[in-house]
Structure 1
Amino acid sequence: MDAILESFQHLLDPDWIMQNGGLYLVLLILFIETGVFFGFFLPGDPLLFVSGMVIATADEAYPFSSEIVNLLFWMLLFMGSTISGYFLGYWTGNKFSHVFNRKEDTWFLKRKHMDAGNEFYASKGGFAITIARFLPIVRTFAPIVAGTVKMDYKKFVFFNVVGAVIWVGVLTSLGYILGDNPWVKSNLEYVILGIVLLVTLPVIVKLIFKKKKTVNEL
């Protein structure tokens, strides 16, 4: 457990990221979190925010001399990485639907995670692919569920791209804007926690109230 917590701290440390693969490491992590079922524990939201900070505060050209060009360049790469991850997730769900539909837990797959993805998809339909990116765990299993239920592929592609643009664009830009602020740098843990709560709380509250309304109607 200590090793896992230490790894999370490293992933949210801009200096450590730059010394260990830089933003190319972020590309890999985003792809794994959104494309591979065992990547659900990875911190995509705060990592995008920290990446924006890295772009804003990098001492050297990374890879261009203009910060704005760098920001746009890396956001496009991040979007491409998470879009590709969702395509992999969809393919995995479609190809191995018999595995993901099993009722019992396995050592590599917990039924509760698939159930969470199924419930979220059922309540939101295709739009779930877009807003699921703002929900940890759910964003990993949403494309797998979409593939499992044979969601229309063109519809999936549309919501996949829209979701990636919004998710990456908002969080990376926010990190870039606030990244050079001294207070943000010295209170990064609290800022990241606030970012996670900010992007997930509205969706969670809406789901809770909808569930209560359904229960009351019954």
Structure 2
Amino acid sequence: MNEILDGLLSTVQSVDPVLRVLITGIAMVFETSVLLGLVVPGDTIVLVSSTGVDGPVQYVALALAVIAGALCGESIGFSLGRFFGPRIRASRLGRRLGERNWVRAETYLERRGGVAVFISRFLPVFHSLVPLVVGTSAMRYGRFIAWTAPACVLWAFAYVSVGAFAAGGYRQLSGQLHVAGYLFVAVVGAALLVIYLVKKLIERSEDKHMRHPGE
């Protein structure tokens, strides 16, 4: 296990830190703006990149890149919704998302307003769909950013911290413990399980606000 993890972590860390941060930031831009997050989840991108973090400077730089990329991506998504919302919804990709998801996102935004924007950052599908839906609504861009910015900050530091601290702990213990690899997997798995359960709790508590009348 240690040999496999050493190879994987070394591969990520071998990428120039500046390039790694830049790639992650750009990936986050596309993750929301063009619905790439429905294919390659942003949390996977951030977790992999954060395992290469070496020191507080790289940690902060990566977190800031993720935040900046997420905000740019959501801003682009908002603009696409504002100018091309109906076309995107009627496109092949829009139809694959399902009319039910579009209606639920619209209902959620109508009932919860800015709160829906904040919470959607942590919900599967909705985090990519809501910026487009907000763009088609009457909500102003300034209000949209005011609600999504703190969500992006919280989301970014949560995922960067999980990957960076787990990988850092593994590197410290790998030379001392043969089971360090299993501990790394256990820590990451436990963190992802907690995140998954929190998302499910949020989704359940908010579901009543997403239901279309008569659903």
How high is the TM-score relative to the length of structure 1? 0.72
- Equivalent in the alignment of 1:129: 117
* C-alpha contact 1:133 1:163 (8 A) present in aligned 2: yes
Question: 1:90, CA displacement in angstroms?
Answer: 0.4
Long gaps (5+) in structure 1: 1-12, 59-66
Quick one: distance in 2 between partners of 1:167 and 1:206?
19
- Equivalent in the alignment of 1:8: none
Which of the residues 130, 150, 153 maps onto 1:162? 150
Long gaps (5+) in structure 2: 1-7, 171-179
User: Could you tell me which amino acid in structure 1 is paired with residue 158 of structure 2?
Assistant: V
Percent of pairs with identical residues: 19
Question: Which has the higher mean CA deviation after the structures are superposed, 149-158 or 107-116?
Answer: 107-116
Question: 1:167, CA displacement in angstroms?
Answer: 0.8
User: Could you tell me which amino acid in structure 2 is paired with residue 197 of structure 1?
Assistant: Y
* C-alpha contact 2:107 2:210 (8 A) present in aligned 1: no
User: Could you tell me which amino acid in structure 2 is paired with residue 138 of structure 1?
Assistant: F
Question: Which has the higher mean CA deviation after the structures are superposed, 81-90 or 195-204?
Answer: 195-204
How high is the TM-score relative to the length of structure 2? 0.73
Cα 1:196–1:173 change in 2 (3 A) is same
- Equivalent in the alignment of 2:64: 76
**What SS class does the counterpart of residue 73 from structure 1 fall into?**
helix
Question: 1:168, CA displacement in angstroms?
Answer: 0.5
Cα 1:97–1:76 change in 2 (3 A) is same
- Equivalent in the alignment of 1:96: 84
- Equivalent in the alignment of 1:204: 203
Greater Rg by CA? 2
* C-alpha contact 1:50 1:172 (8 A) present in aligned 2: no
Question: Which has the higher mean CA deviation after the structures are superposed, 131-140 or 84-93?
Answer: 131-140
CA RMSD of aligned residues (A): 3.0
